[in-house]
């Protein structure tokens, strides 16, 4: 069948997994929580990777590759790093028929894999800063219901691990990387995100502080962590004895950061932009930006139409666009329209006998369905303009939708009402961890508890005397709260 069975606004969960499969992004695999990433996905991943890799190379970050496997004693090295995560660690216990003496873990993240070697490689201040990154997969054997891209037992990511002589250098890099994550979401995926700091309860337990970019899914009213950039302080330096002799000849511990984004980015894109006709790809990441479809007519000159389609694709490719032609003779134009709409191709060009005669093409935009006739002689400039407008309007539409979901509240009752209305809640908070835990406890339920998402760097004015919505104590900051993935 061609269309989707499920509607986005009616059965979001079913719609999401159907559109990921029908759009040929993934294929389900016979192990729960594992998915096959098909070319339509990998092309997007590679576009984001190309951008981020080039940017971190400008920051003198070097790519490496560390082993997938971690020994138990090394993994257990840091209690509060692993505590809470331990159930998610996957272990190799056998090879062939024989049990292994010591089981070996598959990396869920690579701090414990890498840092013993940071300790070995970093001796003096001239060895700093050490800035390494790896593009790899990680495994976390989660049990909460798996969701393609969003929550999978194996996923692709990059993990950056840097070491500095001073806290200032680390603090600065944390924000530089966070800005790259904002760009990935806002400039490539056309998704608005909020930059902020995680609470003590939500941060990476092994670290010093965590910053993140937070996205929001209006259909479910859930926040989603888009990417994280942690300052680890000297915690791991202490654990793994990563010391150096500073310029005064004193022994000092390094200051470290670690930062990551993953294939989760692609799931957020599907959720935010997809509609009931299928995927909607932002032009910046679409592996096919323009699909050209011939509309032959019974007695019209089909060959001339096909030639016009081919030359249109050539012209667009030479101008730097990612354009393809669908000349398959076993599918009707109508079938092809639905197929490429399902795959979310931003722009369709139809060429029929009338278009040929008038030396024009019919252009159809995937995001809003707009149709235009464009003279062939100005095709390149107009396609450039249209694709740029699509990228911008996708972002603006998502931003408006997200803004409409934000609810500023001051009291507990307003908080609960907003939560039940699937809102992204901005509330004045006393910044006390017990209060945060209490909110979690009081909002426990079938849809999951409310939690802090981040304290935005961009703080609205906090009037003197404003009280915390949950504790009634003097509020210290505005914080985003909500249910989350
Ligand atoms: O986010 C990042 C950025 C990249 C490097 N790692 C940090 C922190 C990872 C936190 N984490 C997340 N899941 C885990 C699962 C099992 C064991 C350990 C962990 C674990 O340490």
Residue nearest to atom 11 of ligand 1 (CA): 109
Q: ipTM score of the complex?
A: 0.99
pLDDT (0 to 100) of residue 77: 83
pLDDT, one tens digit per residue, over 389-427 is 999 999 999 999 999 999 999 999 999 999 999 999 999
Ligand 1 proximity of 78 Cβ (cutoff 6 Å): no
- Checking if the pLDDT of 360 tops 70, the result is yes
User: Looking at the predicted structure, is the pLDDT value of residue 449 above 80?
Assistant: yes
| C-alpha to C-alpha distances, 436 to 20, 56, 425, 471, nearest whole angstrom | 35, 35, 14, 9
Cβ of 443 closer than 6 Å to ligand 1, yes or no, is no
Q: What is the pLDDT of residue 38?
A: 98
Q: Is the CB of 82 under 6 A from ligand 1?
A: yes
pLDDT exceeds cutoff 90 at 56:
yes
What integer is the mean pLDDT of 238-262? 96
Atom 16 (ligand 1): residue with closest C-alpha? 85
Ligand 1 atom 10 nearest Cα:
204
Q: What is the 3-state secondary structure (H, E, C) of 333-371?
A: HHHHHHHHHHCCCCEEEEECHHHHHCCEEEEEECCCCCE
The Å distance, Cα 229 to ligand 1 centre, comes to 11
Whether 300 shows a pLDDT value over 90: the answer reads no
Q: What is the mean pLDDT of the chain?
A: 97
Q: If you average pLDDT over residues 97-108, what whole number do you get?
A: 95
Is the pLDDT higher at 307 or at 2? 307
Atom of ligand 1 nearest to the CA of 161: 5
Instruction: Give the pLDDT score at 83.
Output: 78
Q: Is the CB of 109 under 6 A from ligand 1?
A: yes
User: Is the N-terminal amide bond of 129 cis, ω within 30° of 0?
Assistant: yes
The CA R_g of the chain, rounded to the nearest whole Å, is: 25
- Ligand 1 atom with the shortest distance to the CA of 109: 6
| pLDDT at site 1 | 62
């Amino acid at each position: 069948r061609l269309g989707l069975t499920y509607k986005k606004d009616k059965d979001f969960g079913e719609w999401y997994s159907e559109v990921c499969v029908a759009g040929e992004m993934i294929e389900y695999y016979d192990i729960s929580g594992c998915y096959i990433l098909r070319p339509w996905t990998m092309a997007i991943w590679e576009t984001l990777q190309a951008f981020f890799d080039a940017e971190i190379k400008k920051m003198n970050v070097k790519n490496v590759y560390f082993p997938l496997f971690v020994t138990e004693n090394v993994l257990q090295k840091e209690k509060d790093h692993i505590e809470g995560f331990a159930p998610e660690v996957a272990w190799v216990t056998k090879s062939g028929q024989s049990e292994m003496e010591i089981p070996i873990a598959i990396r869920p993240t690579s701090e414990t894999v890498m840092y013993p070697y940071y300790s070995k490689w970093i001796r003096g201040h001239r060895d700093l800063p050490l800035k390494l990154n790896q593009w790899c997969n990680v495994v976390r054997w989660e049990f909460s219901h798996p969701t393609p891209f969003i929550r999978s037992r194996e996923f692709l990511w990059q993990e950056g691990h840097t070491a500095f002589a001073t806290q200032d250098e680390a603090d600065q890099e944390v924000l530089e990387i966070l800005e790259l994550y904002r760009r990935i979401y806002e400039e490539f995926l056309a998704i608005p995100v909020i930059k902020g700091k995680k609470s003590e309860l939500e941060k990476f337990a092994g670290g010093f502080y965590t910053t993140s970019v937070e996205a929001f899914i209006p259909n479910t009213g859930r926040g989603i962590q888009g990417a994280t950039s942690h300052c680890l302080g000297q915690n791991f330096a202490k654990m793994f004895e990563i010391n150096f002799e500073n310029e005064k000849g004193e022994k000092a511990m390094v200051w470290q950061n670690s930062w990551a984004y993953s294939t989760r980015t692609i799931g957020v894109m599907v959720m935010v932009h997809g509609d009931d006709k299928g995927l909607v790809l932002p032009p910046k990441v679409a592996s096919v930006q323009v699909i050209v479809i011939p509309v032959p007519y019974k007695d019209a000159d089909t060959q001339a139409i096909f030639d016009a389609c081919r030359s249109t694709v050539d012209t667009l490719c030479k101008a730097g666009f990612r354009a393809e032609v669908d000349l398959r003779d076993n599918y009707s134009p109508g079938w092809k329209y639905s197929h490429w709409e399902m795959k979310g191709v931003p722009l369709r060009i139809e060429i029929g006998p009338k278009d040929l005669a008038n030396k024009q093409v019919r252009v159809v935009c995937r995001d809003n369905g707009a149709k235009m006739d464009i003279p062939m002689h100005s095709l390149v400039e107009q396609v450039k303009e249209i694709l740029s407008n699509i990228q911008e309007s996708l972002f603006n539409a998502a931003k408006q939708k997200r803004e409409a979901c934000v609810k500023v509240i001051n009291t507990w009752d307003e908080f609960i009402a907003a939560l039940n209305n699937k809102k992204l809640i901005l509330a004045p908070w006393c910044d006390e961890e017990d209060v945060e835990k209490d909110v979690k406890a009081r909002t426990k339920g079938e849809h999951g508890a409310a939690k802090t998402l981040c304290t935005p760097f961009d703080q609205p004015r906090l009037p003197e005397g404003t009280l915390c919505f949950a504790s009634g104590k003097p509020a210290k900051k505005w914080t985003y709260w909500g249910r989350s993935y």
